[in-house]
Structure 1
């Protein structure tokens, strides 16, 4: 299964560039030292490969997908991968960019782990800097033991005269609990805060970066949720 996912992403690395040029698609391929989302490692702290693809449908509307290798994630029932798929809508209104999206998260290699969520984001550009606020909500589902709300604020600034961008974010996860075991999948210590800062380099189609990720999770639940430096490298179209 691991070899199959690595081979699939390898094929995608060769096939996506041609498709993107022909159809106006946006795509990325990258490798990272960890798959960390909202302060939690989805890959048990192991390196991952990731591919993304965005297909324009009409003005402002696209269908987006991402596939990430997880190599038997204990957080997601032994899943070998995470596949995120759904529509996104964006609209520029003055200096604001508004975005809404729906996502369903699939976990090949695991049973009854899939769940969906919706999100909205508002971003504002101030010269070379951007500020964003967002909220994502997963309605009550058995796979996550209740519902889940994630609210966040982020800022980024391109360093003038350099290919570097500095960014940071803070977020909070909360929600109801019907099944404590299943709820611990996304909130292993109940409601919690996460935070991070990053330095990214962009040159043409290539990018690389390093970021620090941390959370307020403490005690035994801190496994794969503690402070971590994460490196990544890839290319985009």
Structure 2
């Protein structure tokens, strides 16, 4: 059977296009409003309202992302106005198990002194039906802006409630490190500590609404002389957030 020339030409054109479409980057992003920019149980925004925006792209197992968030002249960040989190990673999948390695740069604007620092890390997750288990570690090598080095290990789980738009999650983490000077209190306000989070999310299309209870075992009444410790905003609190994804 002879194939018409026009069909042959169309097929010759369509095959490379289809092959290229399979390797086009996956792009996503969103904007979020939260009652606090909280990380590892610590407030990064003076326990005040924070807005953020993020975008990410991934292709062939590699990914890159950027996020910007208000930190509201935080004393923890030397009076910075915003933080940019720039990250690149590589993901590996084996069945239901996923492993990812990454490097993250935290860049602060408006700070009264140099506060930027870099972390490297790896995490993994395993899914079984609506249940998802995750864990990992993040390490910041010894750097002046964080007054030493810092290691954070964490584990968590989340489960979607069947036939509902709700997901319940919880996590726990532990921070350790060395102390060279007062800036170590940025990430460890009173030394090594443990943090936790329990939350619930409601997802409707691109809109996610969430409520979290976050806490630490830091003694917020302890006397710490570092101006970066911000012990007032290192204790237990309830956070609300709304996210619009695209």
What's the TM-score once normalised by structure 2's chain length?
0.85
| Alignment correspondent of 2:8 | none
Residue 120 (1) aligns with residue 117 (2): no
The corresponding residue for 2:234 is: 225
Q: Which position in structure 1 is the counterpart of 2:28?
A: 26
CA distance in 1, matches of 2:53, 2:89: 17
Match of 1:104 in 2: 105
Which of 153, 156, 161 aligns to 1:154? It is 156
Deviations 1:88-112 (A, max 9, x none): 2212112211011110000100121
Cα shift at 1:23: 6.9
Deviation of 1:70 (Å): 1.3
Length, aligned pairs only: 214
How much has 1:24 moved relative to structure 2? 4.0
Comparing 169-178 and 214-223, the one that deviates more: 214-223
Let me know the Cα RMSD of the aligned residues: 1.3
User: Taking structure 1 as the reference length, what is the TM-score of the superposition?
Assistant: 0.88
**Structure 1 runs of 4+ with >6 Å offset:** none
CA distance in 2, matches of 1:46, 1:232: 12
1:207 is matched with which residue? 208
Which residue does the alignment assign to 2:6? none
Task: Output the CA distance in 1 between the equivalents of 2:156 and 2:218.
Answer: 20
Q: How does 1:1-237 map to 2 (within 5 A)?
A: 24-56=26-58, 58-110=59-111, 111-179=113-181, 181-218=182-219, 219-220=221-222, 222-237=231-246
| SS in structure 2 at match of 1:184 | helix
Unaligned runs of 5+ in 2: 1-23, 225-230
